[in-house]
Amino acid sequence: MHAVFRVGSRQMVDFTPHRPFVMPATRRSASIQGLPRSRWISAFGTDDQLVEWFKPRTCPPWLSPDTLEALPPSLVVRELRYNVTQRGFRSRRITVVTTLIDAERYPCADLAALYQQRWEAETHLAQLKTTMQMDVLHGQTVLGVHKELRVFAILDNLVRLVILQSAKQQRVGVERISFLDALRWLGAPATGVPLEALFINPTRPNRVEPRVKKRRPKAFPFMTKSRRALRQVVLQQRLGD
């Protein structure tokens, strides 16, 4: 399994050939300030290099000690940086790290296009929260919430299966099939609508949409107490009047 990640803001990346580096657990001092924690190996271009990342000596809080122990002492990865010239994108220079270290097989332009596809995850989350109305869970217990999440996961996988079959029959990519149309087909298969009749979304490359709310929210306060307690407040106000 391979991956392409964006480099965190705290990770130092320097594309200078044969540059110095700092090993993990090195005591901080003014002489090592600004030096990266990766060892330079080779360069494929001006902003494309092969480096070695080392395992930290201390376990991060988001990682279990057993998982850290199972990791190798070091990992050879590829760091690259590219510019974004398309209008509508906030970032202008993006630095990514990947385990796809073959520069001839995986050029920088292909990796940039692959990383851009990560926004499909935002679309999938919107389909779960908005189209399938998963933004508000109704379970009153932990077990009830877990059951509700499992049902949503099963339903989402069934919709994805319908989308896959329809995409194969219509010979288009799975991202082109309408999620809402597939969900409606799954809820009413007895209508006789064939899978090859599911709606195909038009190709909209480099689509940019504003991140705003369409409808004005109601001017009511949030429900921070139980309904029974709020009823008592309303009754007391009426009796006071």
Mean pLDDT of the chain: 88
Amino acid identity of residue 72, one-letter, is P
The mean pLDDT values, 10 residues at a time, for the chain of 241 residues are: 88 92 83 88 94 91 91 94 76 89 94 86 87 89 94 94 93 91 86 84 76 84 90 85 64
CB of 77 within 8 A of CB of 51? yes
**How far apart are the two ends of the chain, measured CA to CA in Å?**
68
Q: Look at residue 165 in the predicted model and tell me its pLDDT.
A: 93
Q: Which helix (H) or strand (E) holds 120?
A: helix 120-126
- For 22, 24, 91, 148, the CA distances from 42, given in Å and listed in that order, are 17, 21, 27, 50
State pLDDT tens for residues 111-121: 998 988 887 88
CB neighbour burial string for 196-226, b if at least 16 within 10 angstroms, e if fewer: eebebeeeeeeeeeeeeeeeeeeeeeeeeee
pTM attached to this predicted model: 0.66
Q: Look at residue 178 in the predicted model and tell me its pLDDT.
A: 93
